[in-house]
Structure 1
Amino acid sequence: MTTQPSQPAVRDEDHFIQVDGGRLFVRDWRPDTPNGTGLPPILLFHDSLGCVDLWRSFPSRLAAATARRVIAYDRLGFGRSDPHPGRLALDFVAAEARAVVPILLDRLAVGDFVACGHSVGGGMAVETAAYFQSRCNALVTIAAQAFVEDRTLAGIRVAEQGFQDPDQLARLAKYQGDKARWAVDAWTGAWLSPEFAGWTLDAALAEIRCPVLALHGDRDEYGSQEHPARIAAGRGTMLMLADTGHVPHRECEDRVVEAIRVFLARG
């Protein structure tokens, strides 16, 4: 019988960082071992209705498994960050990489790093890897969209209708507070806008210079396997997760953590 090596304990720390428009809430997980100090940290980007708390146990598990520092933050308008000052611009995916990430990396004293994002956060991770070619050592996307697909829009319309139910909005408000309605409207309004219909990650993907792992559930209601195929094409590995929907890091956390651990260990 093979004995699995014990994983280090993980300690976390919270910060608030000022950016244009307000303060961002940041949580930082660090494995309690000197072996992880020289490894580039993992920067997590949440999805369209996400926040630090909705990553749940995933960041801590990831930090322990990879012996790397893991950093997650709430974008403006989400979680414990300040309210967003207005509407999302149509270039909000690329703008996060260019306007916010540089400040985070500077304030958190991060040099090289790994970008990892879920859903639209995966798009932000792609844009970040393209923008920081010399510093992003690896890219991981989880259920990311690479273009506007009919399946994606259909899923968003179903969700939009569901959030007309006050009980469903109240459940989201447990994480988003009084910003919950803004978060829903920002998500649906951006993606369903006719002006957003031509959005793709193609230009950013062409600039990627690091290894790529694109994870995707075979039952993802917000995107077909064309998304991870496009993200990984000529750049890395696409891994389809069986019997999995749009939130693999909660639905099959063990498989996702192990897949990322193995990918990063190959270095």
Structure 2
Amino acid sequence: MTGTPETHDAWIASRRGRRFATRWVPPGGEASRSPIVLLHDSLGCVALWRAFPAMLAAASGREVIAYDRLGFGCSAPYPGRLPLGFIADEAETFHELREHFGLARFVALGHSVGGAMAAEIAGRHADGCEALITVAAQASIEPRTLAGIREAEQAFQSPGAMARLAKHHGDKAEWVLRAWVDTWHSEDFADWTLDSALPRVTCPTLAIHGEHDEYGSLAQPERIAGGVAGPTKMAILPCGHVPHRECPERLIAALLPFLAGPGSA
């Protein structure tokens, strides 16, 4: 597939506030192939996927959709504190995105906590989710997860760090940082796992992880692959926590055979 995908911005109506989304439509793409929906990480947004969505759309021939969760990026502020059930909650509001874009079928691809959300969505929207892809996802909380978050929190005290976060989240930047740090370090969140969600995932699953991931060991993709009910594959990449920025070509190379393989979308 060659050519530059067209981009189209959209606003998704929600009773709690509008959410922002962008679509990448590849030239000559096959309309019959299910779109890929991207779910961002704890500090992420549409813009922080950077060039990856366009690269993925061009390489796969599929439409790619990314959206800002409520409280992030260009979407409306979150109404209050982030609840401890926020990962499972995303599957409850995902129907709004499906209705807006008319997604009868789709592939869910999530990075970091977005991968956990993608797993919840794959299970609760099994009527439409044809494949699940998790990238550097957490399935449980490890000591290195908490240590990595604390280290990142300290880095945000350096000059200009919060300004860079605000560039993407505006005046919501402080809420975004505190929602990440405080939620994951909450005693009430300490026992969180994806274990109850994974058996509901019956579609093909690809669990991707970086061998040098600073927020989770290889036990994370192993737990995902071992917990889902559908067929699974794993791919370990020579990178850290953000493959779509550290080695996007390798990430796409791992995705394409899975998307084209038997039993996948």
Q: TM-score, normalised by structure 1?
A: 0.94
| 1:232 to partner: Cα distance | 1.3
CA distance in 1 between partners of 2:237 and 2:209 (Å): 6
Amino acid at match of 1:238: M
Give the drift of 1:176: 1.1
* Amino acid paired to 1:72: A
Partner of 2:19: 24
- Tell me, yes or no, if the aligned pair for 2:68 and 2:75 is still in contact at 8 Å: yes
- Percent identical among aligned pairs is 53
Which secondary structure does the structure 1 equivalent of 2:200 belong to? coil
- For residue 18 of structure 2, give the secondary structure of its aligned residue in structure 1: strand
Please state if 1:138 is matched with 2:131.
yes
Deviation string 1:82-111 (CA, Å, 9 cap, x unpaired) is 11111111010010011x210000011111
Q: Which amino acid aligns with 2:88?
A: A
**Which of 51, 58, 62 is 2:45 aligned to?**
51
- Which residue in 1 is equivalent to 2:177? 184
After TM superposition, list the pairs within 5 Å mapping 1:11-90 onto structure 2.
Answer: 11-33=6-28, 35-90=29-84
Report if aligned partners of 1:52, 1:73 keep a CA contact under 8 Å in 2: yes
Measured after TM superposition, the shift of residue 173 of structure 1 is: 1.1
Q: Which runs of 5+ in 2 are unaligned?
A: none
3-state SS of the aligned residue for 2:236?
Answer: strand
How far apart in 2 are the matches of 1:161 and 1:20?
35
Deviation, 1:8, is 4.1
Match of 2:148 among 120, 142, 155: 155
Instruction: Kindly indicate whether the alpha-carbon contact (under 8 Å) linking 2:87 and 2:116 is maintained by their aligned counterparts in 1.
Output: yes
**Residue 262 of structure 1, CA deviation:** 1.3
**Cα distance in structure 2, aligned partners of 1:48 and 1:150:** 17
Measure the CA separation in 2 of the matches of 1:89 and 1:224. Answer: 26
Q: How far 1:258 sits from its partner (Å)?
A: 1.6
Secondary structure of 2:197's counterpart equals helix
Partner of 1:239: 235
- Matches of 2:87 and 2:159 in 1, distance apart? 29
TM-superposition CA deviations, 1:172-211 (whole Å, max 9, x none): 1111111111100000111000000111101111111011
Distance 1:67 1:156 in 2: 36
Query: How many residue pairs are counted as aligned between the two chains?
Result: 259
Structure 1 gap segments, 5+ residues each: 1-5
Does the Cα contact within 8 Å between 1:27 and 1:73 map onto a contact in 2? yes
Look up the match of 1:3.
Answer: none
Q: Which of 236, 250, 254 is residue 245 of structure 2 equivalent to? A: 250
**C-alpha RMSD of the superposition:** 1.1
Deviation for aligned residue 1:163: 1.7
TM-score (norm 2): 0.95
1:214 aligns to what SS in structure 2?
strand
Q: Structure 1, residues 222-245: CA drift from partner, whole Å, max 9, x if none?
A: 000000111112641111112x11
